[in-house]
């Protein structure tokens, strides 16, 4: 189990210097920044290129605050996105003795910001 630096974390895509990675559960992880402008910009590129949807559609947001789609209104139309939780993590290689899948490139453990090797991460639930 070796700690990884940001430049050694492989992800599906990097936009604006920010790494973006998806999970099988549909979550997105933005690695390397807490700047929400860069988070949104990198997610927008990721969802357009890899998911073939714009970010608003992927997040399930209505096009405007005066949505006229009756199906959206019945499902409690959502026009805002709750601000994501900003966390810090230490990334590491898989550790089979901890039950990690050795086929994964990396795992991470949430830590305090002052922890040596801590990298900013934002997780967006899918």
pLDDT at position 81, please? 60
d(CA 37, CA 109): 25
pLDDT at 80 (0 to 100): 55
Domain boundaries defined on the chain:
3-124
Closest CA to 29 of 115, 87, 97: 87
pLDDT at 125: 77
Contact 92, 109 (CB under 8 A): yes
Residue 26 tokens read as 């549909």
Beta bridge partners of 28: 22, 124
Measuring CA to CA, which residue among 116, 115, 119 is closest to residue 107?
119
Banded model confidence at residue 92, pLDDT cuts 50, 70, 90: very high
Question: Span 52-69, mean pLDDT?
Answer: 68
What is the pLDDT at residue 2? 73
For CA atoms 63, 26, 14, 18, give the dihedral sign: positive
Mean of the per-residue pLDDT values of the chain: 83
More confident residue, 10 or 73: 10
Mean pLDDT, residues 107-122? 95
Average pLDDT over residues 33-56: 87
């Amino acid at each position: 189990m070796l700690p990884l630096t940001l430049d050694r974390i492989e992800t599906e895509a990097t936009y604006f210097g920010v790494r973006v990675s998806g999970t099988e559960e549909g979550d997105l992880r933005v690695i390397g920044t807490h700047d929400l402008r860069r988070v949104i910009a990198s997610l927008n590129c990721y969802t357009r290129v890899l998911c073939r949807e714009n970010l608003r559609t992927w997040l399930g947001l209505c096009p405007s605050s005066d949505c006229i789609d009756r199906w959206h209104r019945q499902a409690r139309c959502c026009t805002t996105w709750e601000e994501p939780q900003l966390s810090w993590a230490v990334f590491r290689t898989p550790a089979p003795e901890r039950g990690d899948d050795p086929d994964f490139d990396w795992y991470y453990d949430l830590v305090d910001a002052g922890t040596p090797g801590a990298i900013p991460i934002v997780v967006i639930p899918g």
